[in-house]
Each structure stands twice: as structure tokens, then as C-alpha cells.
Structure 1
């Protein structure tokens, strides 16, 4: 501690940050990078596997859409009334000329209209030396090239074509459905995406393959060198005990890091912004979670999880345009064609915001027909301020439905590390006294990492303002509640939505019951990019907290189980918090 009182943050970064890898797995994206980096790599957390037979293996869960048109339309009209725009069934044809004039004054041509190209899934082998290289990099030869229509099979047969065995990240999302690949998402809606069609072992193997690819291709850390690196695993509040255990096993057993530590996203978020107390509202692509932190300690009773996020707003944007008949007559299906969701996400980020009055824009959208180049379509989009209001009226955001993971999996305590608590472990010579507890002396490793039970189903229907209010009022003391209502922290990609801060402050204030003696609500400005503040906080915690009891060594995890000797993980973190604030301001 004396060292932490005097050391300069930049010195800590130089000493400890170069061999610390921070891993923050979300549902749709993973944020990963070395602790001394300014920003992480943000990679879509998906993988496409080559299939020799087109119908081979897992094809993804059957998805359906809930039939909630009446509730959705009702929610739209409520929002339209608040924003003072026409209702869904009102004839607005006569107002188009006036709107178009307004669009000219609201020209957003400076915003990029990204065009996505189909991923090239083949590599050509011109000589034996390149063949060996391709083989070593796990590229497999297609026994029979079932070429899509339009692919020339003439004189090019002399050049042997090869399919990549797997493709990760955004490239996996841009693979045409005519190619023999199966796209998998190992994490969905805040949980491991386990189902009868996607078994546990396959989910774990896919996560390992994605993370291993990122470490090799983005961070350039080969497996042989990883024992010299330590990993900070920043896990979502939605993860259950076994899910944390599984991803920790991936990091230590499969990726072969020398040691690792687990931190919660909520805790990491406040350190990333140099705070000690806040209501952290994490709005990701598929899940929104709310949790209150008091003096660096998470309060489990305040945890609320909402099953919607940025992707739902993007799909709602498409639904609104189709209802207003402003979307071109093209085949856009964000659930069946991931490249369409990429386009909608870009449009949402560029044009959607929360404000009163009619909000339209002229832009370019693209159609992506399988195997064909993208085709641009100029169009006028309307009611752009409606989709983000779905955060407060979730009936507007109809979720995509997938078979949920079996609940018995998450609550199956059958022997989850159970055997390790009843064994006589040999003491390694380098094991500190605090880490060795002798025969049957093991302490449940998760006591230091609060894990929250899944919230009742009814809470999933809450809007954002009600969820924040419910979370803070669950904190207990009135003085703490007042402090939390004035310390709301919005993080995640959705937090960048224009006008969201004012909307949250106004709606949370109105959601507080009249009998509560609270009259002030404030959203704090984020000191770090909301997109990766949890990653940055994990980096800070890893740099400042490097020698404490929470770290788990690979050998202990694999051979001896795990013994955590202290439960004071965040309790004596006064100087740690001071260093975090100093680090952020430097």
C-alpha cells in the first residue's frame, strides 16, 4: 500500500501493463487488449466453420419472432404522442414536401454510408510451399467444390482452391449464405448460448477458437508465450457461477495464461471513470444491466437485467421504416442475414437520437443479395427518434426468440469444483500462506465474486427508467439512494445515443414514487469512451491490483483446485480508488 501511495500511474503502466491482457466478453462483441493500450480491439464474438457437407453440424437455433404487432403499434403511438409526431396510422403523405425541405437543412452527408463486401472464404494454392503454409494455418481442401452459380470453373481448376477452416469476427458476419459455412454465436443475451442444438462443449470450443484467433492475429501473442502473460477477465453481471468457471477455464487451461483474475463489469466501470459509488447502467448490443456500486462494492440486491439492447433498436428502425413505407423494396432480414444487421447498426448509430418533433433524413441503404455486390438505394427515413425510445417502452422492441439455455445447466451444482473441496492438496513451494488452507480447507472461490441469481421474469418487462429507479430504491439507506440518483453512469454503445442523457434524467425523476424524499436525478458524464469503459476499468484494476489474493495461477487451477484466502477484495481499496482517479485524469 505504501508503494501505491507514492507511485506515478504511468510508472505502474510501464511496469505491469505490458504483460496484462484484459478480456471483456459481451454478447455480440468482445473487447480485448493489453492493459497499457489506449483502447481495446472490439471484435464481433462469432465464428463461421467450414462444412464439407452443406448440412453438416450445427446450423444455429431455430428462431421465431413473437407476434406482438398490436402491443408494438400501441407503444409506437404512445411514443408518438410524447414526441409530438404523427401516429402510426395517420396519413402523412401531404406533409412529405415540408419534411423533405427540413431534411435538406438537416443534411447528414458527412456521416459515412458504409458498404460491406462479401468475405472471400477461399485461398488459392499456387505451389507446394504455400500448400504447407495453408495446411499449417488450418485451411482445409474442399473435396468437391460446389461452386455457387456464377463462379467460373474453367481454366482456373489448375489453381487449387481451398476453404478456410474457420473465419472469426466481422468477416464471419459478411459470409454469403451460398458458401458452405455455419455461423455460431457462443454468447447470446448475456449467457452462454447453450441449447439442445448447441451443446456446452461446442460453445466452449467456439469461444476458445475466437479468443485464440484474436490473441494470435490482433495481439500477436502466440500460445508458447502466454505463460508470461496474465489475464484480467471482466465478466457481465448476467453470468452465473458456472459460466464464470467455464470462461475462466478457457483462459487458464486452453489459452494457457500464467494467471488470471475475475472482475465484474459494474466494478470495472466505476474504476474506469474514477468513481467509487454509482448506479451503473450498461447498455450493450443484446442486454441492458443495472447495478449499484457503493464504495467499490457491488450491491447484489440492486441488480436488474433487461433483455434488449442496441441490436433491438436497429431492428426496430427497420420495422418503423417499413410501416411508413420509406424502406426500399429489397430483401432485408437482419436475423437471417448478419450483413443486414451490420448495415442497420451503422444507420442507427448515424441517424437515431432522442428528441421532440419529426426527425427524418435522406440516406443510402444497401441490398445484399447472396453472392452479388451490394446495391445502393437512396431513401428518406422517417421517425428516426422513435426506435431509441424503445428503451423506455420495451414493447416496441420485439426480441428475437431463441431456445433459452436449460435452467438446470446454470443451477447444476452437481460437482462444479465440488471434488476439489474434499481433497488433500499438496502444497507447492511457491504458494503463499494465505493461499494454502490445508485439508478440506478450501473456500468457495466465488465468495470473492458476487454472482446474482436470475431476476424474476416480470422484471424483464421494465423500461429503462423504471429499472434504474427500482435498482436504486433497492439500495436501502435514503442517503445512499440520494447519492446514487445523482451518480447514474450510462455505459455501453447505446449510451452514445444523442439525447439519451436528458431523457434518462427526466424519466427517472418522474418514475420515483411521490412518497420518496428524492427530487434530484443526474447522469454523470463519462470520462472514458462508454464503448469500452469496462475494459479500461479492468485494465486499471489489473495494473493496480496485481499482487492481491484474487489472482489465480494456472497450475493451481488445473492441478490443485483453487483456494482463495481472503474476502476483502474491494474493501481496503481506498488507495486503489485514488490511483484509478489519478490514472484517469493523467
Structure 2
């Protein structure tokens, strides 16, 4: 038996004995473990730790130091003191450091661009179009507009005009005309039974009058092109693009970058081409309208850019990138349309209805903020009224039967006719004689005389009966060029969507909408029935019914009539849970990808064109904006403001007010629909509000995005810089 060894002997024999000299292996200080029960950090807990907040403060501090040095230098050199120091008034109160002459305000629309300096009383209007050298013009590419139906045995030109646009359009037109006659009789207005025949017979037998060019005092100056096609400019923008002759050499084709308030992906094949066209339109507008010839001066300018209320994030980020990276503005601020309109009109609370060329937006504004859930974006506007007006006149044997809205001079003529003749006043619905001059490059001027009856009112009535509009190609090319914005972390769609817009999409898709009428829940399945609801809520997936689930699941034991939910992980299929949104075509599975479900739901909404009657959309926006608060609802009803070019139609505000009072008789005294105050032009109210915002001293540190900040953080700055939820 071996004797017991000591511990020191074991360490020596096994080689574990320590042989160093007790010196540390490194001079690096050892960090002790923190106390898990009591520790504190200031990481990202102060505003100064965010670059978006710290950078303006540092910029303001350096400005104050620079001004103090300049003041001391002036005193040392005994420079005579001016009446007022820079940055202060006579009382010593700091002035706004934003020079209005160095602020440029952009308001981009589908058809026009409003641009001007902060010191301008009114903006300059530039057509939002670019003409590029092409193998053929837009009128030679594709079928004319309005679209003529293909008729068996005859070409559209040989058939009767009543058959050009199909039976569906004819039936709707006749129904609207009959309804208007009934309404006029009930209002004790005289209605002639043969008015349509008088118009048709007069238009059919009236030839045009030829006026030679040297006798036409109002002849048009067309865009001149050099004799050598090789020396012709690559592109034209604005009014010059619309005045290029159709048969020019070389040919030019018009490109409209904005369509229905967002990207025009139908006419563009690449994202870079769209980016280039927008940049060139902005650049040429500043050169021709504002006198800024050199883009190197733009770092000294600030830009206020008006964006839609219900925007797409990719649209905003691309516009911001164009303004800062491509054009080189020093600072940029973003402002929403409806909020800008209230700034321009001086309203504190209002429901803004902006009827543009191809988009109508509705939003409730309260205390300087847009109500997020009340935002509505309808893909219809003044351009649809123009097309429908021309179709109705062609239906009545309009003497200029060859009108094609894809031709440049026909497009300008149609806009002029709509602005002159269309009205929503019942007094205007009579047989009237009008005339217009058709001026085309290389042709003698033709003077046409024609008669109208109810086309002038029924075309605008399409805002309340949008099925009369031709919306067949508005979704063409959607998401073809520019993909949807997705979340950085999980890849799900992250474009803003309001509850009011969801209800609009569901109504446009024909889904049943739950509505509250006089405190009781009812179900409406048609748009007409949904319009009679006081409050409407978006369609949500139905709640799980425990009794139905128990009846469907035969393998689940039941101990009582009430039952219990199906345990997680069972193999029993459940249509409500296993099939998202009750889709019968999708195979039943146990586990779902929530990102895939969100993407699928967004794709389904993209396939639905959000178009419903204007009065119904306004009521939906008001309901979501008030959220059950009757007092706030009455305030919104009393502040409905019509802005945009489409709102300039005479009598539209009074007609809309009457429609809303018919649908909401309990709020008849509160409902008021009117134009902007102080005789403002409704087309420029949003621009004017953005101009006022750009001159506010309070906006100097909060919402301006500088080039240095953007170079570091990019579009992530919008989380801290936007005055709305990004």
C-alpha cells in the first residue's frame, strides 16, 4: 500500500506547480463585471445623441460664433453700424434666418408643376411633360383617345357615333340624362323633350369655316426645329414640348413622369429614365421660370417640396434624392398637400378635398396635423372629366369627329373647352350654341360651331358616378418598373395605408362593408347602400366562432356545449385559421409566413382601383377623422374646402353640399362646402401654404434636411425630420 502524498508533492510530480514570478502578463486594465442589479447607461436617451438633432444645433452654434466674430471685426475696424443688425429687428428679437428669396417651392402634379420662390405671390405653372426624340409620336403609337369600339362590318369612322363607345357607355349616359331631366322637373325647371335631337341635327349639318393663317390674329407660335434633324435638341420640356408639331422631323414623343399622382410605369421601361426626366423638368423649370441659370448656385437655396397625403415611400425617397443629390439643394423640407392647403387658406381645422388632374385626395386636418386614418386617395380627376366630356360630345355628333386626345393640339383644345363650357349649375343645362377655333401646325385655322345640352353637367357628374369614366388602363404597368417599398428588417410592405383608404378599396372591390346606422349594425353590399351609412369601418377578418370550430372538428372531444378552442399543434384543419382570409384556393397548412400574407394582401389591394363616388369618399374620411366624436365631426362638416384645378367648375361646391345634406340630413345646418377664402385660386392654395411654411422661423431647425446629414444617414433621416408619421 502506497503512502499518502502531500499536495505539494502531487503538484510537483504532475507538473502543475507554479513557476512564474507573480508578474502580470499584460498591462491592460482588467474590467470588472458590472453589477447586474444596479447599472445605468445614457445610450440613445438624449436628443443630442441623434445626428439629425445634433447637427442643426452645431450649425446654429457655429453661425452664432461667426456672427460674433464679424461683429467684433467690424467694431475693431470702426465700421459704421447699420440701422438693424443682421438676424435681429429694432427691438433685438431674432428674425427668421430663412431668406425667402432663397427658398424654392415645388408642388408636383400629374399634369402641371407649380414652382416659385418664397417671395413670389403666385407660382409659375409648367406642364409636367418631357418630349424626347422618338421613332413616332404618341398619336401614331396606339389607338386614339377616347377609345373607339371595334364594330363588326365597319370601321368606327363609318359607324354612327352612338356606337363608337359601346352599349355600356350609351346606357349609362342615357340613364344619367334621364335622371337629370327628372331632377330638373322636380325643381320646376323647363325641360324641352326634343333637346337632344336639336343638338344632334345642328352638329351633324354644320361644316367648319376656314380661316387662313394670315387672317388669324390669335395664331399659335409653334416650337421651331432646325432644318437639319441631326441638330435638333434631344428633348424639350413644358410648353415647348406641347407645341412641337405632330409631323415634325425628327419625331418627338411626350412622356408624363407622373400618372394618377404617382409613378408612370406604363410609358417607362427603366427607373433611370424616369429619374432623368424628372430631373430635367425641374432643372429647365428653374432656368426658364426662376432665372437660375447655373445649378452650382443651388447649394445656397432651400427647397420646400409638397408630397401627397397618402404617399408612397419610394416616391418620397426618390424625389428627395433628386433634389439633394442630382440638383444639389442645400436643404430640403417635405410638406403634405392638405396641411399646406390649410396653411395657405389660414384654417385651423378643415376637411380638404383636392381634385387634381388625375388624382383626388381627401384628408381631415386638425391643429396643424393630418389625421392619418382619414386620408383617401382616389384615382380620378379633371382628366377623366375632360375625356368623358369629349366622348359625350362625340356621341352627340360633334362636328370635329376626328378629335384625338393623344394629339397635342387636340389635348390643349379639349382642356380649353372643358374650362369654358362645363358647369354644375342646372341653369346651364339648356341648348346653347358655342364655337371654337382649331389650330394645327401647317394647316389653316378651322372655326367650328356646335351646340350642347346636358354634356356640360353630366361629364362633371362622373365624380359622383365614376362608372362612366374609362378606367381600363389606369393599373397598366403597376409595379413593373419601380418595386414597392418594404421594411428593412422583415421585408414586409411598409407604405402607409389609412382605415378610410382600406374602406374605399373594399367598397371599390365590391366587398361587404360593416356600417353603423343610427347606433345599429347593418351590412351593406353595394356602394349605394354603403353611402347611406353614417360610419363605415374597414373590412376585417371575421372573429373565430367557437361553436362552428367545434362542429367542424370531429376529432376534438367535447365536454360541454360551450366547448374549448382547438389546442395548438393539432392536425385538425380549420378554414378560418389555416386559410388566410378564408381563401379557398390556398392549400390548408398549419404554419403561415406573416410576411407572405402581408405581401399577398398588398398585391390584392394593388389590383383594385380605388374609385368610388366623391361624396361617399368624403363621408368615409370624415367618419375616420372624427372617430365617433360628434363635436369634431360637426367641425369637419363645417370646414369642407375644395381645392385643386378640378374644383374650379362653377356650381360644384353647391352641388356637393346638396348631396352631402341629402345623405346626412341630421347635419344639414353644419355642412358647408366652399372654396378657399380671400378669393384665392384653388389651384395654388397648396403651393402658397408651402411657401408660407418655408418662411417660418420655427421651421429653421426642425424639418430641414441638409446635404451633409443626407450623405451620412440617407433616407433614414425622415424618421426624425418629417412633421408626419414616416
Q: With the length of structure 2 as denominator, give the TM-score of the two structures.
A: 0.60
How far the C-alpha of 1:7 sits from its partner, in A, is: 11
Give 1:583's aligned residue: none
Please say if 1:240 is aligned against 2:312.
Answer: yes
Please say if 1:50 is aligned against 2:133.
Answer: yes
Give 2:334's aligned residue: 262
How far the C-alpha of 1:95 sits from its partner, in A, is: 5.8
- 2: CA distance, partners of 1:258 / 1:372: 48
Give 1:428's aligned residue: none
1:426-484 deviation per Cα after TM superposition (whole angstroms, max 9, x unaligned) = xxxxxxxxxxxxxxxxxxx999x999977526343421211111110112121111100
Q: 1:456 aligns with which of 505, 516, 524?
A: 505
Give 1:322's aligned residue: 394
Q: Residue 332 and residue 473 in structure 1: after superposition, are their counterparts in 2 closer, same or farther (change >3 A)?
A: same
Q: Residue 62 and residue 86 in structure 1: after superposition, are their counterparts in 2 closer, same or farther (change >3 A)?
A: same
Please say if 1:344 is aligned against 2:414.
Answer: yes
1:67-103 deviation per Cα after TM superposition (whole angstroms, max 9, x unaligned) = 6413344334333433458999x64367679x99xxx
- 1: CA distance, partners of 2:107 / 2:706: 19
How far the C-alpha of 1:397 sits from its partner, in A, is: 2.8
Contact 2:195/2:453, CA 8 A, preserved across alignment: no
1:501-532 deviation per Cα after TM superposition (whole angstroms, max 9, x unaligned) = 211111111123x6x66652002441221110
Q: 1:396 aligns with which of 468, 471, 477?
A: 468
Instruction: Give the secondary structure class of the aligned counterpart of 1:401.
Output: coil
1:202-247 deviation per Cα after TM superposition (whole angstroms, max 9, x unaligned) = 1111111111100111111120110100100001224301101111
Q: Residue 503 and residue 121 in structure 1: after superposition, are their counterparts in 2 closer, same or farther (change >3 A)?
A: same
Give 2:370's aligned residue: 298
Q: 2:183 aligns with which of 57, 82, 89?
A: 82
Give 1:535's aligned residue: 687
Give RMSD over aligned pairs. 3.9
How far the C-alpha of 1:191 sits from its partner, in A, is: 0.8
Instruction: Give the secondary structure class of the aligned counterpart of 2:391.
Output: helix
How far the C-alpha of 1:401 sits from its partner, in A, is: 2.0
Give 1:163's aligned residue: 232
Instruction: Give the secondary structure class of the aligned counterpart of 2:703.
Output: coil
1:122-159 deviation per Cα after TM superposition (whole angstroms, max 9, x unaligned) = 146xxxxxxxxxxxxxxxx634xxxxxxxxxxxxxxxx
Q: Which runs of 5+ in 1 are unaligned?
A: 101-112, 125-140, 144-161, 419-444, 572-586
Q: 2:662 aligns with which of 505, 510, 513?
A: 510
How far the C-alpha of 1:565 sits from its partner, in A, is: 7.3
- 2: CA distance, partners of 1:26 / 1:400: 21
How far the C-alpha of 1:116 sits from its partner, in A, is: 6.8
How far the C-alpha of 1:263 sits from its partner, in A, is: 0.5
How many residue pairs get aligned? The number is: 485
Please say if 1:546 is aligned against 2:699.
Answer: yes
How far the C-alpha of 1:119 sits from its partner, in A, is: 2.8
- 1: CA distance, partners of 2:431 / 2:325: 52
Q: Residue 415 and residue 61 in structure 1: after superposition, are their counterparts in 2 closer, same or farther (change >3 A)?
A: farther
- 2: CA distance, partners of 1:356 / 1:521: 21
Q: 1:253 aligns with which of 306, 325, 332?
A: 325
Give 1:150's aligned residue: none
Please say if 1:521 is aligned against 2:521.
Answer: no
Please say if 1:272 is aligned against 2:344.
Answer: yes
Please say if 1:181 is aligned against 2:252.
Answer: yes
- 2: CA distance, partners of 1:386 / 1:400: 20
Give 1:106's aligned residue: none
Contact 1:490/1:526, CA 8 A, preserved across alignment: yes
How far the C-alpha of 1:55 sits from its partner, in A, is: 8.7
Instruction: Give the secondary structure class of the aligned counterpart of 1:471.
Output: helix
How far the C-alpha of 1:60 sits from its partner, in A, is: 8.8
Give 1:142's aligned residue: 229
Q: Which one has more relative contact order, counting CA pairs under 8 Å at least 6 apart?
A: 1
Please say if 1:363 is aligned against 2:434.
Answer: yes
Whichever of the two has the greater Rg, that structure is 2
Contact 2:642/2:676, CA 8 A, preserved across alignment: yes
Larger displacement relative to structure 2 (489-498 or 455-464): 455-464
Larger displacement relative to structure 2 (406-415 or 181-190): 406-415
Contact 1:296/1:570, CA 8 A, preserved across alignment: no
- 2: CA distance, partners of 1:396 / 1:484: 30
Please say if 1:382 is aligned against 2:453.
Answer: yes
Instruction: Give the secondary structure class of the aligned counterpart of 1:311.
Output: helix
Contact 2:424/2:457, CA 8 A, preserved across alignment: yes
Contact 2:705/2:721, CA 8 A, preserved across alignment: no
- 2: CA distance, partners of 1:227 / 1:493: 33
Q: 1:563 aligns with which of 711, 714, 717?
A: 717
Q: 1:207 aligns with which of 275, 278, 281?
A: 278
- 2: CA distance, partners of 1:60 / 1:506: 42
- 1: CA distance, partners of 2:137 / 2:718: 47
Contact 2:109/2:258, CA 8 A, preserved across alignment: yes
Q: 1:92 aligns with which of 178, 186, 195?
A: 195
- 2: CA distance, partners of 1:382 / 1:229: 52
Instruction: Give the secondary structure class of the aligned counterpart of 1:33.
Output: strand
Contact 1:339/1:368, CA 8 A, preserved across alignment: yes
Give 2:15's aligned residue: none
- 2: CA distance, partners of 1:388 / 1:539: 31
Give 2:109's aligned residue: 26
- 1: CA distance, partners of 2:646 / 2:630: 30
- 2: CA distance, partners of 1:340 / 1:291: 34
